[in-house]
Amino acid sequence: MQNLKNWVSRILKNDNVEEILRKQLEFTESLIETAQAIILVLDLQGNIIRFNQFTEELIGYKLEEVKGKNWIDLFVPKDNSNAVKSIFHRILDNTSYRGYVNPIISKSGQKICIEWYDKALKDKNGNVDGVLAIGYDITENKKTQSRLNQAQKLESVGRLAGGIAHDFNNMLSVILGHCELILLTLKEDNELLGNIKEIQNAAKRSADMTKQLLGYARKQNVLPRTINLNDIVYNMLNMLRRLLGEQIDIIWKPADDLWLIKIDPSQLDQILVNLCVNSKNSFVQTGKIIIETEMKTFDQEYCLTHPDFLQGDFVLLSVSDNGCGMSKKILGKIFEPFFTTKEFGYGTGLGLSTVYGIVKQNNGFINVYSEPNQGTTFNIYFPRWIGGTEYFKDEFNNTNVVGGKETILVVEDERTILKLIETNLQGLGYTVLSVSSPKKAIKTAKEYSDKIDLLITDVIMPEMNGNDLSKEIIKKFPDIKCIFMSGYTSNIIAHQGILDNDISFIQKPFSRAELDGKIRKVLD
């Protein structure tokens, strides 16, 4: 401001006016050419008169190439052009327009999001003779906002899933439990057999949907193990080939000496099944799926130019197909819950969103590359595990019931579920002490004169949670084993859904065989 006053003062004194004006013009030109913003001058028809160096670099054209051409026709997307023309005419009516957002398309075809501040230019008589437009590239800000919106959407789905999962899975436990009991009593020729199995299948599908919701929102309980990714994929190949059918060619390309990662193996099963089924749906009839593993390291410099990547050592799981591919519009929505390109009734839209949730829960990241008719590649990066060399082998997985003679204390506030568990365990030979509240459980344990081998307790109950209850029971029975059950992950027994190695957990709803398998694993 003081410099401007000095210039005015010297002009009034007629002290080298020409030199002062020359320097002032030079200063103004320097500001325009060094500004990190679009500075654009248009005539009354919207034709380009001039723009600065920053604009040249952004749009990919030099001024001489496009001077005299219409800015809106050349650089504004077609579906936005009418709105921009309307704004342009308002500005010509001697009105400035501030802070509106409208994209432009560069010479290379890149869509760039611009925040505009426009003002009418006037001649010496006060008549409008053009428009000055100043624009700021906010593309990265929009990407950041998009990530924030995704995170908020994730949190909303998490609250939704958490709100319904506990009670909904309790109800499904009742339906599935009674179906199992009925099926145990029906003969193969009974006409009701088919109806009961349909009810059972519908309940199982409902349970799977709830599990997918919890997976997307990172609300499912998991037990991470140190694993070699190659082992898990290899063990899944036969199942994937049966699932997809002979018309789908699966090609397996494992990397040698692969780094270890830490993840719940069942989550990797979910990822592979969802991605491979998604690929199968992109084929007309036949197709090829390539599953690869690789080791990748990204340094700070690489991540600065690739904002979707994280710094460090990672194990890559890549699933590629030669299917129909996806447009950019669809690509931007594939991880949204309930978004699906399938016809109504043929997809829930939870498959890829579940994959996204699992990857994020395990501190990894995922990138997708796809174009119409060019196939799709999902690249998933899991952080390298350096905490030890011992890795996971397949756990006991029992599909047949074994039973036993041990004494089990069962605590469940939902009486119908309590009765079902009691009936199933008694039928397997166990001695069962069943109670409907933590206080009754403590009283029963204190009064029971013989040994109690196992406590099976719900996690979320009135009076006291399952974890606190187990501590009280252990006071009398120091050697007692414990199994927690719940339809909803809870930080009462887990940190952000991640269970410690010494926690035994079974997810509701569960079958008779699954419960017995978990019991035998814990007791044996």
Give yes or no for residue 157 having a pLDDT over 80.
Answer: no
Read off the pLDDT band of 496 (50, 70, 90): low
Q: Is the pLDDT score of 319 beyond 50?
A: yes
Confidence at 301, pLDDT banded by 50, 70, 90: confident
**What's the pLDDT tens digit per position in 90-125?**
888 877 778 788 889 988 888 888 888 888 888 888
Strand bridging mode 365-370 / 376-383: antiparallel
Domains and their CATH numbers in the chain = 35-137 (3.30.450.20), 229-390 (3.30.565.10), 407-523 (3.40.50.2300)
C-beta atoms surrounding 191 within 10 Å: 7
Among 133-142, 163-172, 363-372, top mean pLDDT goes to 363-372
Q: What pLDDT, on a 0 to 100 scale, did the predictor assign at position 397?
A: 45
Task: Give DSSP secondary structure letters for 23-35.
Answer: HHHHHHHHHHHH-
From the CA atom positions of the chain, what is the Rg in Å? 33
Q: What is the DSSP string of 174-243?
A: HHHHHHHHHHHH--TT-TTHHHHHHHHHHHHHHHHHHHHHHHHTT-S-B--EEE-HHHHHHHHHHHHHHH
pLDDT beyond 70 at 248: yes
Check residue 452 and give its pLDDT: 93
Q: CB burial class (10 A; 0-12, 13-18, 19+) of residue 471?
A: exposed
Higher pLDDT, 136 or 333: 136
The pLDDT assigned to 286 comes to 86
- Could you tell me which residues come within 8 angstroms of residue 113 by beta carbon, excluding any fewer than 6 positions away? 101, 103, 137, 138, 139, 141, 142
Q: Tokens in use for 71?
A: 């800015």
pTM of this structure: 0.51
What order of strands is seen across the sheet that includes strand 287-298?
Answer: 248-253, 287-298, 312-321, 376-383, 365-370
